[in-house]
Amino acid sequence: MIRLVGILVGLGFTFVVLLAFAFGFANWASDDTPPTAESVFHLAPKHVEFEHDGLFPSWDLAQLQRGYQVYKEVCSACHSLNQIAFRNLSELGYNEDEVKAEAANWVVPGVDPNTGEASTRPGTPTDNFPRPYANDVAARAANNNAIPPDLSLMTKARHHGPAYVYSLLTGYQEPSAELLASYPEAAPATGLHHNPYFANLNLAMAPPLTADGQVTYADGTEASIDQMAQDVAAFLTWTAEPSLVERKRAGWPVLGFLLFATILAWLAKKQVWANAKPKRKED
């Protein structure tokens, strides 16, 4: 009786699932909502490869240092990096004196010890990267009423994060004639810039990388727009997850241990049940 009830419950559950799927499929098939400009002209991120990708990743420290230089000289004018402290730059290959010198090049909020009033001072290794604007009102006023997002976790907050950042930085262009003909309302309004890799196709951020050689790399690498975009995308991958490479590398010993434990458990099972005989079914 219990078995019969279980079978009936299972059949009922299966029927409900199939019915829900059928209704959902019917609604999807009959959906006559007209396509939007975003659904037609929004592009998936470009393919780009980094050394921290793949099964055997590593950080390209030279690239991370170049990416930091791009952030410092270009992106930091609008975007904060408030989850990262200057001392973290030691993970990019900078020594202690270089970290101190880098921190001192930045101006951070402080307090006048004599008056207690707000002031500014050179940064120290223990400080986090400062915000470029005093508050959100100032940020909106300087950016067409849009607040530039913090970049600390940007590559974790966006699907295909590093590729998204790279594609966005290299994707600014004029709207295509096909887009304007089919969706004239999608033309960028005053203060907006067309970029098919952005979800809404138009964004308030002007192209930050405007010309080759905009940054002069200390290691002599040619600073093309494509190269600068790759470098800052790699750097922002590191800021979002500094332990990315270590986490991926740790997976191999774990997989090895699990494989060894599985084989050991199988051999133990064979040993324990080696002399066991199947029980005869009584007549």
Annotated binding site for heme c: 75, 78-79, 205
Q: Could you tell me how many helices (H) and strands (E) the chain has, helices first?
A: 10, 4
Residues sharing a CB contact under 8 Å with residue 57, sequence separation 6 or more, in sequence order = 51, 244, 245, 248, 249
Ranges of H-type helices in 76-148: 96-104, 136-142
Look at residues 45, 44, 52, 107 and name the one whose alpha carbon lies nearest to residue 236. 52
d(CA 270, CA 280): 21
3-state secondary structure of 38: helix
Which residues fall within 8 angstroms of residue 249, CB to CB, at 6 or more apart? 56, 57
Tell me which H or E stretch contains 227. Answer: helix 225-240
Radius of gyration of the chain (CA): 28
Amino acid 61 reads L
Binding residues: 75, 78-79, 205
